[in-house]
């Protein structure tokens, strides 16, 4: 009797824990994604606040993006090796530490250090997606992944107006104290609720792979984010692009010969993983393009004839519904995936993004039109982002999900960096005089919307060629007959 009662109690506790895992991870994902837009309202005032030049202050944004790109795949691999829960808690510790460093600082050097630490926490989202696959019942995995994936956009969309309002009414340090508090709450909740996944991939950590990937990414992403400032044909920009090609070529050759690589390039070269990652780059481009274009259009002076003359707070509020829609559409995305597979879900999402950008190219004369466009694009992003982890995890072994999801998140980061570069070029070169300054022309905004539509349409075409059926990955310790894998529909 006592044994039966103990077993029942353990079952009840497990069920309660499973119910709390998703909301806890989703809240954590929103907190982490908030870090990317946390300082956007401060961009124009950062040089004065930090007593530095405009070019140096811009690194407060760039450093976070670089740290996120470098650390995410590394955190995924370490999670596979040493435990995903452990790496998530370490990541949240870095976020809290970085936020406190920024909150206590008034000069650029410590703020840069703090922003790097905040960016290093971005690996929480792909690690959380992997935990959901490990811990939840199979019938709940698709909907849970949809919710967790949506947090990548929700935090940025909802956080921008909140950050703008806080920066407008309080000291800028309050932003970072708020981030530290949210991070601490998330860390405590994770420590209490989150179980440690039993799925591990023991072995030696690939230090050369990590260093090589970091060097190659820095060499690629720095000129992408700073090329407009340095000059696209400057020796520094071209030299870094060339260095990234050389580094990645050497890195890839060595990774193929490494017994336990940071990134399994053979698995990554499978059609499903490769094409999903390519689509992720394009979807990341489409997501970030609207974040750069819409606020500028809303804040452009009314006297230009097309600007809407709104404050940063209003601009953020116009984009906030997109984040809400991303979360609300998570169940819809899961239903599409459950019935037709994640490939179709990705195609539907990219089609919606394309439609949103095309609407924006012709409807940008009123606030409600811009809010509608942003919401439609956000809906497409939410659907698309939910499909990508499902596609990746359907094509990789269970013990490699952390690293594979980390690499997929990295591809989205590369896409956002490309978007920052391309949109900056368009908006800074297609300008007209306005008083003592230069402002983007109406044609510039139309061009950015059309480019965003083109990227989403290309992602749709790439998704179409993702194989409809792939071998189902084998769980660790699973029995197989004659080594054959059962095909699984995706």
Query: Any idea what the CATH number is for the domain that residue 30 is in?
Result: 1.20.1250.20
| Termini Cα distance of the chain | 45
Nearest to 195 by CA among 261, 276, 101, 131: 131
Q: Which residue ranges in the chain fall short of pLDDT 50? A: 3-13, 470-490
- Domain boundary (261, 284, 301) is at 261
Do residue 243 and residue 372 come from a single domain?
A: no
Alpha carbon distance 67, 217 (integer Å): 10
The pLDDT score that the predictor gives to residue 469 is 59
Return the pLDDT at 17. 57
Note down the domain range covering 233: 206-261
214 and 201 inside one domain: no
Q: Does one domain contain both 153 and 41?
A: yes
Please calculate the CA angle 317-323-324 and round it to the nearest 5 degrees: 95
In whole angstroms, what is the distance from residue 6 CA to residue 179 CA?
41
Q: Indicate the pTM of the whole model.
A: 0.80
Number of domains in the chain: 2
Q: Do 251 and 314 belong to one domain?
A: no
The whole-number pLDDT of residue 10 equals 43
Same domain, 45 and 118: yes
Give the pLDDT score at 114.
Answer: 95
Predicted pLDDT of residue 34: 87
pLDDT digits (tens, 9 = 90+) for 35-55: 877 887 787 788 888 988 877
Instruction: For 437, list phi and psi in degrees, rounded to 5.
Output: -115, 175
């Amino acid at each position: 009797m006592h044994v039966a009662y103990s077993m029942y109690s353990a079952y009840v506790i497990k069920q309660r824990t499973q119910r709390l895992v998703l909301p806890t991870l989703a809240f954590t994902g929103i907190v982490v994604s908030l870090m990317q837009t946390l300082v956007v309202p401060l961009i124009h005032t950062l040089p004065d606040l930090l007593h530095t030049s405009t070019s140096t202050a811009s690194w407060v944004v760039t450093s976070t993006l670089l740290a996120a790109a470098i650390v995410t795949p590394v955190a995924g691999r370490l999670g596979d090796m040493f435990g995903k829960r452990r790496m998530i808690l370490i990541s949240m510790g870095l976020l809290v530490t970085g936020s406190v460093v920024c909150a206590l600082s008034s000069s650029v050097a410590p703020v840069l250090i703090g922003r790097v630490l905040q960016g290093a926490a971005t690996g929480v989202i792909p690690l959380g997606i992997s935990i959901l696959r490990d811990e939840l019942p199979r019938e709940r995995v698709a909907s849970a992944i949809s919710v967790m994936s949506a947090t990548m956009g929700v935090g940025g969309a909802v956080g921008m107006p909140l950050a703008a309002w806080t920066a407008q009414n309080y000291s800028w340090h309050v932003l970072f104290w708020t981030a530290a508090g949210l991070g601490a709450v998330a860390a405590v909740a994770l420590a209490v609720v989150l179980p440690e996944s039993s799925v591990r991939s023991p072995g030696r950590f690939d230090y050369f792979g990590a260093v090589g990937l970091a060097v190659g990414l820095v060499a690629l992403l720095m000129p992408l984010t700073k090329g407009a400032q340095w000059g696209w044909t400057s020796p520094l920009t071209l030299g870094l692009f060339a260095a990234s090609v050389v580094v990645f070529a050497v890195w890839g050759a060595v990774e193929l010969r490494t017994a336990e690589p940071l990134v399994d390039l053979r698995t990554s070269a499978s059609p499903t993983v490769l094409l999903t990652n390519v689509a992720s780059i394009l979807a990341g481009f489409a997501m970030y393009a609207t974040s750069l274009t819409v606020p500028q259009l809303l804040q452009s002076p009314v006297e230009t004839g097309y600007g809407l003359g709104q404050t940063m707070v209003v601009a953020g509020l116009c984009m906030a519904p997109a984040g809400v829609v991303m979360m609300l559409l998570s169940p819809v995305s899961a239903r599409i995936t459950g019935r037709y597979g994640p490939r179709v879900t990705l195609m539907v999402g990219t089609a919606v993004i394309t439609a949103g950008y095309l609407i924006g190219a012709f409807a940008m004369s009123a606030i409600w039109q811009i809010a509608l466009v942003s919401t439609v694009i956000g809906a497409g992003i939410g659907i698309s982002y939910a499909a990508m982890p499902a596609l990746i995890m359907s094509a990789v072994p269970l013990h490699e999900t952390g690293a594979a999801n980390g690499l997929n998140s990295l591809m989205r980061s590369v896409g956002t960096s490309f978007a920052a570069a391309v949109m900056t070029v368009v908006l800074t070169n297609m300008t007209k005089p306005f008083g003592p300054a230069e402002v983007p022309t109406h044609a510039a905004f139309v061009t950015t919307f059309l480019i965003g539509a083109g990227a989403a349409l290309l992602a749709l075409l790439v998704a179409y060629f993702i194989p409809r059926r792939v071998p189902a990955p084998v769980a660790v310790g699973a029995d197989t007959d004659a080594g054959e894998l059962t095909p699984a529909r995706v």
